[in-house]
Amino acid sequence: MPQPKSDAAYDGPPDYRVVGRHGMFPEVSHDEIARFNFLAHMNRHLSTQVMPGVRDAFEARVEPQFRKQEGRDFDNRHEVRKALLKDPMFQWWSALRRATMEQRQQAGRWVVLRQGEALNRRADALTAGDNRLSLDPDLETPRYLAAVDHHCMPGSYHTELVRGDVTGAANYDIGLFATTGGMLGRFNDGGGVAVAKWVKENLPAFKPKRILDIGCGLGHNVLPIAEAFPDAEIVAVDAGAPMLRYGLARAKSMGVENVTFVQGDVSKLADFEDESFDWIQSTMFLHETSYRAMQEIFRETQRLLKPGGVVLHVEQPQYAEGMPLFEQAMRDWDAFYNNEPFWTKMHEIDLDAFMAQAGFSQDALLHGGVAAVVDPAVFPEAAKDEKQEDYGRKAAWHVIGARKPNAEAA
Ligand SMILES: C[S@@+](CC[C@H](N)C(=O)[O-])C[C@H]1O[C@@H](n2cnc3c(N)ncnc32)[C@H](O)[C@@H]1O
């Protein structure tokens, strides 16, 4: 029986107390911090110490057994996943990974619910009468979103327990550290910092005046973009009202003033005029949209983009040809055991073809890669975490996008 590797270097995540505090950050007690620290360490232990044992079990048992029984190699990731499911090493790792996610959600819920009224009042005080928060009480949450508690998050992004509720968003904010072990940075914004840097380095002449962020969540990755382009007006759209309320209150408390948070379904943005944005951004968003919605969203981005404008989507890598089937099956874990039902389909799609169907020409497509930019003084382990693989959790992403041809230049 393959054993978990005991000789692998173990780098623990930083202490929860380095997490960035802002005006909406809930009070976290000593014991609550200890709980998040335990979960962050548990996740790191699973990815560095236990996960290698799953690969060993696959190579030593699962794959040979499949070959013996079927007289052939695996054809696709689904066959690999089904075979892994019968193996005790995979069962052990998978059950623990799921348990840590559920525990993270409950640990965070405990924190935010006990101070829910105070948090809701604080968000209200920071956002009342501010026209940078535009909520639509009649918006019907898209069914594909409402049907799922994403990554075991009770009520997902949209549920309001009481009027003016922000507790779901606060829970998302404070718990992300436990899952990522700090790899997204003090303010969970390492992705946005990296995107802003990528744009400045790769498109130096690009000076966006109006930026649309679709599926902005509570704005973790929008704020660094807003800070990097202080003269731009940023419109951040999400379907979940709690995320937006919390998002504006958090942004203001952090001194970021150029973002407007709008509630809407980003597959139907009829209120925005054609060709009205220079840059449309999505970050870790596409995997939470349905197959149909994603096509509608791509068409909307093509409609909304100004000539010369840029659309960029930042996501975990696609299951491209050449990615080992074991890796594809492990990456698919989130789809089957972490309430991310669209993850599997989204990652097998030919995104270039989808972009072309939406009207972007093939020679205008942009491809790249970004890794979270975090403060190495605060997160030294994260800074050298480049090689560690955690199938779907690594803070490194692909960028797929397009530049809309400029009619005058054409
Ligand atoms: C994983 S979160 C990404 C958050 C954010 N982009 C970030 O970087 O932190 C996905 C978000 O997409 C939103 N979302 C998904 N489908 C949507 C749709 N059709 N319209 C608006 N928001 C949507 C969800 O409400 C959720 O807040």
Q: DSSP of 261-301, one letter per residue? A: EEE--TT--TTSPTT-EEEEEEES-GGGS-HHHHHHHHHHH
Give residue 216 CA to ligand 1 midpoint distance, Å.
5
Q: Can you tell me the mean pLDDT for 112-137?
A: 98
191 plus 269 within the same structural domain: yes
200 in the same domain as 149: no
Beta-bridge partner residues of 210 = 233
Nearest partner of 345 among 265, 274, 291, 388, judged by Cα: 291
Rounded Cα gap, residues 187 and 173, in angstroms: 9
Q: What is the pLDDT of residue 408?
A: 54
How many whole angstroms separate alpha carbon 129 and alpha carbon 126? 9
Q: What is the model's pLDDT at position 384? A: 54
Clarify whether residues 260 and 294 are in a common domain.
yes
Range of the domain at 32: 25-132+142-172
214 C-alpha to ligand 1 centroid (Å)? 7
168 lines ligand 1 (CB under 6 A): no
Band the pLDDT of 250: cuts 50, 70, 90. Answer: very high
Residue range 115-144: mean pLDDT, rounded: 97
Q: Which of 338, 330, 401, 352 is nearest to 53 (CA)?
A: 330
Read off φ and ψ for residue 94, nearest 5 degrees: -65, -45
CATH no. for residue 240?
3.40.50.150
What residue owns the CA closest to ligand 1's atom 20? 265
196 and 154 in a common domain = no
- Are 365 and 401 spatial neighbours (Cβ–Cβ below 8 Å)? yes
* pLDDT reading at 302 higher than 70: yes
DSSP state of 410: -
Instruction: Report which ligand 1 atom has the smallest distance to the Cα of 192.
Output: 8
The reply to whether 410 falls in a domain is no
Between the CA of 5 and the centroid of ligand 1 the distance, in Å, is 37
Q: pLDDT tens-digit profile of 370-393?
A: 888 888 777 765 545 555 667 777
Amino acid at the residue 199: V
Closest residue by Cα to atom 10, ligand 1, is: 285
Q: Is 173 in the pocket of ligand 1 (CB under 6 A)?
A: no
pLDDT at 385: 53
pTM: 0.94
Report how far apart, in Å, the C-alpha atoms of 185 and of each of 32, 66, 154 are: 20, 42, 24
300 and 394 both lie in a single domain: yes
Q: For residue 333, how many C-alpha atoms fall within 13 Å in the half-sphere facing its CB?
A: 21
Rounded to the nearest 10 degrees, how much is the dihedral formed by the CA atoms of 252, 184, 152, 333?
150
Q: Give the Å distance between the CA of 250 and the centre of ligand 1.
A: 17
Q: What is the pLDDT of residue 380?
A: 63
What is the rounded average pLDDT of the residues 196-211? Answer: 96
Would you call 380 helix, strand, or coil by DSSP?
helix
Q: Characterize the bridge pairing of strands 305-315 and 396-403.
A: antiparallel
152 and 270 in a common domain = no
Same domain as 372, residue 229: yes
Report if residue 2 sits inside a domain: no
DSSP 72: S
Q: Is 326 helix (H, G, I), strand (E, B) or coil?
A: helix
- C-beta 212 within 6 A of ligand 1: no
Residues 117 and 207 in one domain: no
What is d(CA 394, CA 403) in angstroms, rounded to the nearest whole number? Answer: 27
Q: Which of 332, 266, 328 is nearest to 299 (CA)?
A: 266
- Ligand 1 centroid–CA 155 distance in Å is 14
The pLDDT of residue 374 is 84
Asked if residue 300 and residue 385 are part of one domain, the reply reads yes
Q: Are 128 and 207 in the same domain? A: no
Q: Are 133 and 261 in contact (CB under 8 A)?
A: yes
What total number of domains does the chain contain?
2
Whether 97 and 116 map to the same domain: the answer is yes
